[in-house]
Chains A and B, each alone.
Chain A
């Protein structure tokens, strides 16, 4: 029998997306309920705290990565450790939406897993009047990838908790699946990948 007071489960979340879309803003709003007006480009920030997920105490570890191209080379290393990804763009900036495609590809390449927990996040929903990315286009892309799409605002806190909790739930259910006996992670992953190939 396991000890009841074990260390709570740790879910590793990575924030990706172009510079200035609000990854850090989302993270800080989630972590500390604060909104930062001024823009300070991130290099790589690390956050971790305890939260209650569906009645169960867990730890969330957030790696807030750099959106600026200058730091693109170090991303590979960071992505490797991630268990789930929030891929953020700003609905007021079409370039940032286009860039999500590249991020998605890089993640799939590094993780080698089509079903990695992943949410497409359209941020700055409070700036509706400046919207450049139509909702239909974003939901279309999410559907094509087979991932959920959520619009957030780091400023008003709309949907901020939702994206983090939804992602943690996906990570958790993925882990439970992988932990099933006779389902070693590595083997499983390659199988998934292969299966996909066969279908294609």
Chain B
């Protein structure tokens, strides 16, 4: 059995019954006799069908109405189908209409009585309502009428005449008033006919009589005829018709045979055309394959298989085999191209469709998808291998390791020609992997989507969705794993060893210097992530990347904080001891500001890259573990600064520095000398950094810095944290505060020890200089020199402290005063009351002078010691003695006026107040 007929064309596509219809298509029969059935709109038209070729049949449409199929049936192919439809409709038939079923009405000949004859009916010619419908072009759709009036008709002479149909058909555009007028007209006409029946006969009596006469005449003639011709008058007629028919046949025979020949030639030509197509096909296919016009090849192939698919002719078979072999080649070619490195998505889809159209076995679409996946994997793996090798060689080269700090700080140097060499291989890997994912993955995913939505017109095996998901997850996991191995190996510790190894083993040394690049890596990764998000991937896949990003952010943040901590710890090398004053806080060095800058920079960097969550990312600080880790890092960073201060004040380097003040203090105002030449400050700035200022000055500077750090820097840093929306770092700040307080105490102690020991130590030798004996004293005229030296030394300490931080004076001097008072008390007690009268007066005057001079800085403990000292001295016996003491004191006040002013309470308004209070 050959292929079933298929009708693909009809001309015209609509018409009234009897329309000459040209039906075109394929396999419409091999010969006129092969055609055994033709229906148009369900009406059998075989009788009128004229078989022209296997592509063409001409027939007349039957009385079918509405749209319907054209079905051709052949003996060789069976019942066929059609892609087109024919619409039959019935036309209102008027004298002006050309119609296949038009009944010729011979016009009535002249009337015998010379009168105007009656026309058979007046239907169709005039409108029964007397309304002209000329010029009204629009017609009411006939289908609608059929629906509205099933079985009705608009034909006035029809049995099933439906008035509604008639009106809609002829007058659906006529205005209502006109219709009313028409009704009146019709009524008049009907009335006129009824009452006029009699008058009709009357007025036509002549005709009636004539008719009767004619009938009589007819009868006569008929009888005559019967007499002449016998009973059946039609026999002769029949003979005549037959004769004329055979005459006519003779006349047309020639024409008809010519036409038949023409038809035969035509179909032969068509056949030839087809053969030419067949024999030319192998060449055409090759040409088109070369041109890359696979569609044409496929179309041609489909056509040739239709036409010659089941031929028995050996020559055809041979050619077909040739065609087939080329098609096989094409299949292979297409398959190979599909497996090659994936090209554009559209090109791939086209290839797949071509393959499907070529009826290749298997599942080319799935092959393409898995090839895509393999390729993606291979790209990523290769990327990894090449970069590991690159880093390895860089490490071996040693010098070439990306250490150059210049390049580190400028995050992505682009103009620099050799920057490629400076960028760590892992960063390049990250960039390349991110690019690979954002470029290749979307095509892979879209191809999958096209596959499953049926866009590729292939059937999908039930296990495929699961397989595809696996491929997707595998690709994404690999991406994540490779990046983790390169950037954050510590996050892979729980991964099975084999899997871990597949992500690449990097040399641990390569992690150095990676820190500053992490934000850059994060940016690249985020770009890839956003391209994945746009694809609407299942969240299972997206989450893998999301967690990678989260870990990288965390890692980045800790690295930043660790770096900041390290920079802070390096700050001590930058101390210049250059004291700067601001109104409120006394003198500080630039170190606290440096510390603040380092921290602010780190936070700014963290904020720019890490802290803010982008689309579909987990907020970094939500997890408690993360917060605790970060807190530790922050605390560590801040404690770094405390360590720096500690090192600067009490470190071995610091103490090694010589302190000229200590050795030269005894007996000479050494500090004045040092201060006088401004050498403290000069040395601080000077080229000779190692020596720097005296240790005591350093201690004081550090003390001042500590104070500043506590009162100003820490609150500012807390503000910074708040500004960057890090949760208030209460824990770390408190412990840093504690560490500072503790350090403060130690530094202060060190300073006091450093200063008070020599100061106190000088009192005794100075007191007994020149073999002075309390028991053999002369009448006192002034306080003894040791008092003056003591006060001068105190003044120099005061000056030293004040020059760095006035606030510190209040912490240092009272302590010194206490030790001085204690020493005084000890010395007096040692004498065991061995004073002569003048000795007593002298001692009282000395003690009172000292006590009065340091009054402002005195403490209850100091007062107690002063009292103890006085107690150790025998009581002044008489008024003369008291006067002597008083005069000594007065003398002391006026001579030492300048020195005494140094101990004035800086907050007290005038000098007088002090002297008055004494």
Confirm or deny: B383 has a beta carbon within 8 angstroms of a beta carbon on chain A.
no
| Closest Cβ–Cβ distance, residue A75 to chain B (whole Å) | 13
Confirm or deny: B459 has a beta carbon within 8 angstroms of a beta carbon on chain A.
yes
| Closest Cβ–Cβ distance, residue B313 to chain A (whole Å) | 20
Q: Which of B9, B349, B352, B357 has the largest count of A CB atoms less than 10 A from its CB?
A: B9
Tell me if B9 and A31 are in contact (CB < 8 A): yes
Enumerate chain A residues within 8 angstroms of B452, measured Cβ to Cβ: 1
Tell me if B453 and A2 are in contact (CB < 8 A): yes
| Closest Cβ–Cβ distance, residue A118 to chain B (whole Å) | 22
Confirm or deny: A137 has a beta carbon within 8 angstroms of a beta carbon on chain B.
no
Confirm or deny: B863 has a beta carbon within 8 angstroms of a beta carbon on chain A.
no
Confirm or deny: A56 has a beta carbon within 8 angstroms of a beta carbon on chain B.
yes
B residues 7-60 touching A (CB-CB < 8 Å): 8-15, 22, 24, 55
Confirm or deny: B883 has a beta carbon within 8 angstroms of a beta carbon on chain A.
no
Enumerate chain A residues within 8 angstroms of B353, measured Cβ to Cβ: 54-56
Confirm or deny: A136 has a beta carbon within 8 angstroms of a beta carbon on chain B.
no
Tell me if B454 and A55 are in contact (CB < 8 A): no
Tell me if B350 and A54 are in contact (CB < 8 A): yes
Known A1-B454, A46-B85: A33·B13 in contact at CB below 8 Å: no
Enumerate chain B residues within 8 angstroms of A6, measured Cβ to Cβ: 454
Residue ID in chain A nearest B270 by CB atoms: A34
Tell me if B83 and A49 are in contact (CB < 8 A): yes
B residues 438-456 touching A (CB-CB < 8 Å): 452-454, 456
Tell me if B24 and A47 are in contact (CB < 8 A): yes
Tell me if B137 and A45 are in contact (CB < 8 A): no
A residues 114-151 touching B (CB-CB < 8 Å): none
Residue ID in chain B nearest A33 by CB atoms: B273
Enumerate chain A residues within 8 angstroms of B394, measured Cβ to Cβ: none
Enumerate chain A residues within 8 angstroms of B454, measured Cβ to Cβ: 1-6
Tell me if B357 and A54 are in contact (CB < 8 A): no
Tell me if A31 and B8 are in contact (CB < 8 A): yes
A residues 8-61 touching B (CB-CB < 8 Å): 24, 28, 31-34, 42-49, 51-57, 59
Tell me if B10 and A45 are in contact (CB < 8 A): yes
Neighbour of A42 across the interface among B11, B84, B354, B458, CB < 8 A: B11
Residue ID in chain B nearest A71 by CB atoms: B12
Confirm or deny: A64 has a beta carbon within 8 angstroms of a beta carbon on chain B.
yes
Confirm or deny: B460 has a beta carbon within 8 angstroms of a beta carbon on chain A.
yes
Confirm or deny: A73 has a beta carbon within 8 angstroms of a beta carbon on chain B.
yes
Neighbour of B357 across the interface among A5, A31, A43, A55, CB < 8 A: A55
CA–CA, A60 and B354, complex, Å:
19
Confirm or deny: B322 has a beta carbon within 8 angstroms of a beta carbon on chain A.
no
B residues 455-483 touching A (CB-CB < 8 Å): 456-460
Residues of B in contact (CB 8 Å), total 38
Tell me if A44 and B12 are in contact (CB < 8 A): yes
Enumerate chain B residues within 8 angstroms of A5, measured Cβ to Cβ: 454, 457, 459
CA–CA, A59 and B8, complex, Å:
11
Tell me if B295 and A46 are in contact (CB < 8 A): no
CA–CA, A6 and B294, complex, Å:
23
Residue ID in chain B nearest A53 by CB atoms: B295
Tell me if A4 and B84 are in contact (CB < 8 A): no
Residue ID in chain A nearest B12 by CB atoms: A43
Tell me if B302 and A52 are in contact (CB < 8 A): yes
CA–CA, A11 and B14, complex, Å:
21
Confirm or deny: B310 has a beta carbon within 8 angstroms of a beta carbon on chain A.
no
Q: Which of B15, B85, B298, B454 has the largest count of A CB atoms less than 10 A from its CB?
A: B454
Tell me if A45 and B9 are in contact (CB < 8 A): yes
The main secondary structure of chain A at its interface with chain B is mixed
Known A51-B299, A52-B302: A45·B13 in contact at CB below 8 Å: yes
CA–CA, A32 and B273, complex, Å:
11
Tell me if B273 and A48 are in contact (CB < 8 A): no
Known A3-B454, A48-B84: A55·B12 in contact at CB below 8 Å: no
Known A33-B273, A55-B295: A49·B11 in contact at CB below 8 Å: no
Tell me if B12 and A47 are in contact (CB < 8 A): no
Enumerate chain A residues within 8 angstroms of B453, measured Cβ to Cβ: 1-2
CA–CA, A73 and B349, complex, Å:
45
Tell me if B13 and A44 are in contact (CB < 8 A): yes
Tell me if A52 and B270 are in contact (CB < 8 A): no
Known A1-B453, A2-B454, A4-B460: A48·B8 in contact at CB below 8 Å: yes
Known A4-B459, A34-B55, A49-B8: A57·B357 in contact at CB below 8 Å: yes
| Closest Cβ–Cβ distance, residue B366 to chain A (whole Å) | 13
| Closest Cβ–Cβ distance, residue B353 to chain A (whole Å) | 3
Residue ID in chain B nearest A62 by CB atoms: B9
Tell me if A47 and B9 are in contact (CB < 8 A): yes
| Closest Cβ–Cβ distance, residue B99 to chain A (whole Å) | 15
Tell me if B299 and A52 are in contact (CB < 8 A): yes
CA–CA, A59 and B454, complex, Å:
18
User: Residue-by-residue, is B809-826 near A (CB-CB < 8 Å gives 1, otherwise 0)?
Assistant: 000000000000000000
User: Residue-by-residue, is B839-859 near A (CB-CB < 8 Å gives 1, otherwise 0)?
Assistant: 000000000000000000000
Enumerate chain A residues within 8 angstroms of B83, measured Cβ to Cβ: 48-49, 59
Tell me if B299 and A46 are in contact (CB < 8 A): no
Tell me if A52 and B298 are in contact (CB < 8 A): yes
Known A4-B454, A51-B299: A46·B357 in contact at CB below 8 Å: no
Tell me if A42 and B12 are in contact (CB < 8 A): yes
Q: Which of B11, B13, B270, B349 has the largest count of A CB atoms less than 10 A from its CB?
A: B11
Neighbour of A45 across the interface among B11, B295, B350, B459, CB < 8 A: B11
Tell me if A55 and B8 are in contact (CB < 8 A): no
Enumerate chain B residues within 8 angstroms of A42, measured Cβ to Cβ: 11-12
CA–CA, A51 and B459, complex, Å:
21
Tell me if B350 and A44 are in contact (CB < 8 A): no
CA–CA, A38 and B458, complex, Å:
45
| Closest Cβ–Cβ distance, residue B673 to chain A (whole Å) | 89
Tell me if A4 and B8 are in contact (CB < 8 A): no
Neighbour of B84 across the interface among A3, A46, A51, A53, CB < 8 A: A46
Tell me if B357 and A52 are in contact (CB < 8 A): yes
Residue ID in chain A nearest B55 by CB atoms: A32
Residue ID in chain B nearest A77 by CB atoms: B141
CA–CA, A64 and B84, complex, Å:
13
| Closest Cβ–Cβ distance, residue A163 to chain B (whole Å) | 15
CA–CA, A32 and B83, complex, Å:
15
Known A31-B8, A45-B9: A4·B15 in contact at CB below 8 Å: no
B residues 234-288 touching A (CB-CB < 8 Å): 270, 273, 277
| Closest Cβ–Cβ distance, residue A55 to chain B (whole Å) | 3
Tell me if A55 and B354 are in contact (CB < 8 A): yes
Tell me if B8 and A47 are in contact (CB < 8 A): yes
Tell me if B460 and A46 are in contact (CB < 8 A): no
A-B CB contact pairs (8 Å), 30 listed: A2-B453, A2-B454, A4-B454, A4-B457, A4-B458, A4-B459, A6-B454, A28-B9, A32-B9, A32-B24, A32-B55, A33-B273, A34-B273, A42-B11, A43-B15, A45-B22, A46-B11, A47-B8, A47-B9, A47-B84, A52-B298, A52-B299, A52-B302, A53-B295, A55-B294, A55-B298, A55-B349, A55-B350, A56-B353, A57-B457
Task: For the A-B complex with A2-B454, A5-B457 known, give 14 more contacts whose Cβ atoms are closer than 8 Å.
Answer: A1-B460, A3-B454, A4-B454, A43-B12, A46-B10, A47-B10, A48-B8, A48-B9, A48-B83, A52-B299, A54-B295, A55-B295, A55-B350, A55-B354
* Chain B interfacial positions (CB closer than 8 Å to A): 8-15, 22, 24, 55, 83-85, 137, 270, 273, 277, 294-295, 298-299, 302, 349-354, 357, 452-454, 456-460
Q: Sort A-B residue pairs by CB-CB distance and give the 5 closest, nearest first.
A: A55-B353, A4-B454, A45-B11, A46-B13, A48-B83
